[in-house]
Structure 1
Amino acid sequence: MNTSTCAASTHVMRPGVLIGRSALVTGAGSGIGRAIALRLLELGMDVYGIGRREEALAQTASQARQLPGEFDYASANIRDTAAIEALVAEIGERRGLDLLVNNAGGQFFAPAAQISRKGWDAVIDTNLNAVFVITKAAYPFLKARKGTVVNISLSGVDRGSMGIAHSIAARAGVLGLTRTLALEWAADDIALNCIGPGAVITEGLAGEAARAMLDRLVAATPMGRATSVEEVAELVAFLATPAGHLMTGQLLQIDGAAHLGPGLHMVAAQ
């Protein structure tokens, strides 16, 4: 597996460019979400992180101590509609909201015929329904600040992919939601986009099957390497700046041209 990255060359934002702004990042306790939170903090943005595990969020907070932005966090179940709506309202009223990053998500590999209704509902609730609930709850605060929403999705989400029917259905729904809200909320000057990373190597990667799948994905990526969490974070930071605000309703695939290659739907069958 080629885990090399070009993280050192991805930091192109001017220091302090996001000072005075506030963000909410879900799934901020690890992986892509942690990288996004830390990069925004590094650029001066205040960040509120949400995640399932308080100890993981505390680790993010520890890494954030020397950064210019202020980091606060709460453990929360994003599938608990009433609780998450109340938390988003509390954050928005206390801090205001310039940026919402819907990063939290999850899935498991299984052929569609082996996915139970319970498993299906869990992935749809996490990867689609929670995005709608959180984004809707954040709307009045985003409207007040002419804010930005970034939804973290998957490379090739607009194509079929074997082994993750539940996740592809959910992520395709998020893409449709993103584009619809980009139209509905354009008059409020709110920009919404999806980012589709390719194969991402994170500290949370577990299981031989998952690692073998990622090996094949990297091998099938035309540029021949994984997407780094830092590259995803830098793209989020750009979208949070005025320079990125006119870009809206897009699926931005940061995947080394993987979406133009055989795709997960072929790689998974190997």
Structure 2
Amino acid sequence: MSKFSLQGKNAIITGAGSGIGRAIALVFAEAKANVQVLDLNKEAANEVVLEIEAAGGTAQSHACDVSNQTEVKKVIDAIAENHTIDILVNNAGIAHVGNLEGTTEADLDRIYAVNVKGVYNGMLACVPYMKKSGGVILNMASVASAVGIADRFAYSMSKGAVLTMTLSVAKDYVKEGIRCNCISPGRVHTPFVDGFIAKNYPGEEKEMFEKLSATQPIGRMGQPEEIANLALFLCSDEAGFITGTDYPIDGGFIKLNT
């Protein structure tokens, strides 16, 4: 068996219909995991499954609103009827632009429901199964978990919570054989970024893309596959000695900008 193989493991990935989640699903499938593709958009989840199957992998798709605890538990319980719960990647998340005064109560509640409660719901549904034979949880945090980012009040709040939830779960369940870590990406080039630029800076897409890329000291945005490769390592047996740790993958953003 090659290094970083996930053969024989079942991996649940939320928000896997696009962007970083899709990249993680494809990389995990290439590493021989059976991948459970969860996304609010069932059609997008189905497309990822077709990509995986076309490449010779195995995967199943599930429509899932991570902010709905009942729905999350129903999906996880259904998966557990036929598969072990070996890996959970809490990737689903949404963004918000605005400082404190530019964040309404509705904005805060919306971000909390997906980015904080969604991670909680995923872990709450999976941990009872993982306690039986161990498992790995990987949460998607952000550079905003560690440093202040202008006009990202609600988003930063949510990603700070992801970091501390990760540490808490890692400590509480280490003796149960459950590892829990998180990844903190900087700016990553995804369809979401392209859509954000097109919506907010029409006619200035090229200039704004270059400006955002330049905020990373390395001089470019990350690629989803780069995040996925780190996720693969942290969820593999080769990372068996790693838990309770946050991994920035940010082109030097945190250390070289502060």
Fold conserved between structures, TM > 0.5: yes
Q: SS at the partner of 2:257? A: coil
Deviations 1:218-270 (A, max 9, x none): 2122211211111111111111211102111111001111112337xxxxxxx
Q: SS at the partner of 1:114? A: coil
Partner residue of 1:78? 66
Deviations 1:78-105 (A, max 9, x none): 1111111111122123211110000000
Higher relative contact order, chain-length normalized (CA < 8 Å, sep 6+): 1
Q: SS at the partner of 2:101? A: helix
Pair 232,16 (structure 1): closer, same or farther in 2 beyond 3 Å: closer
Partner residue of 1:196? 184
Distance 1:251 1:187 in 2: 20
Q: For residues 15-30 of structure 1, what are the structure 2 equivalents within 5 Å?
A: 17-30=5-18
Using structure 1 for the length normalisation, give the TM-score.
Answer: 0.87
Pair 179,250 (structure 1): closer, same or farther in 2 beyond 3 Å: same
Unaligned runs of 5+ in 1: 1-12, 264-270
Moved over 6 A (4+): 210-213
Partner residue of 2:237? 242
Asked if residue 174 in structure 1 is aligned to residue 162 in structure 2, the reply is yes
What percent of counterpart residues are identical?
Answer: 27
Unaligned runs of 5+ in 2: none
Cα distance, 1:128 vs structure 2: 0.5
Q: For residues 105-254 of structure 1, what are the structure 2 equivalents within 5 Å?
A: 105-205=93-193, 206-208=195-197, 209=200, 215-254=210-249
- The partner residue of 2:54 within 26, 48, 66 is 66
Q: SS at the partner of 1:137? A: helix
Aligned residues: 251
Using structure 2 for the length normalisation, give the TM-score.
Answer: 0.91
Partner residue of 2:253? 258
Deviations 1:184-237 (A, max 9, x none): 000011111110111101123313348676643421222112111111111111
Distance 1:98 1:213 in 2: 41
Cα distance, 1:16 vs structure 2: 8.1
Cα distance, 1:46 vs structure 2: 0.2
Distance 1:245 1:66 in 2: 31
Distance 1:228 1:16 in 2: 20
